[in-house]
Amino acid sequence: MVLGRRRDPPRLGFAAVANMTEHLLASTMLRRLGHDRTRTRSHVEHELGLPSPETALADKAHVFATRYVNHDWST
């Protein structure tokens, strides 16, 4: 397990969906076992490296927003 916050480059497609799903499953199971919601989500995202749906969608939006910044559309 990696200690501290691990930030990989944003992944799109099936990998991002799979990681979001793993995050949701892990945090839901831990909450059902009685763990605090906020601490659980933080642990799963920062310690395990699984992005929350909000983080994954924000990363995806950033990638699409910056993809064509320097593209010359006149040609």
Q: Dump pLDDT digits (tens) for 27-69.
A: 999 999 999 998 998 889 889 888 888 888 888 888 888 876 7
Q: Which two tokens stand for residue 22?
A: 């793993």
Q: Dump pLDDT digits (tens) for 7-27.
A: 555 555 777 778 888 998 999
Task: Tell me which H or E stretch contains 14.
Answer: helix 14-32
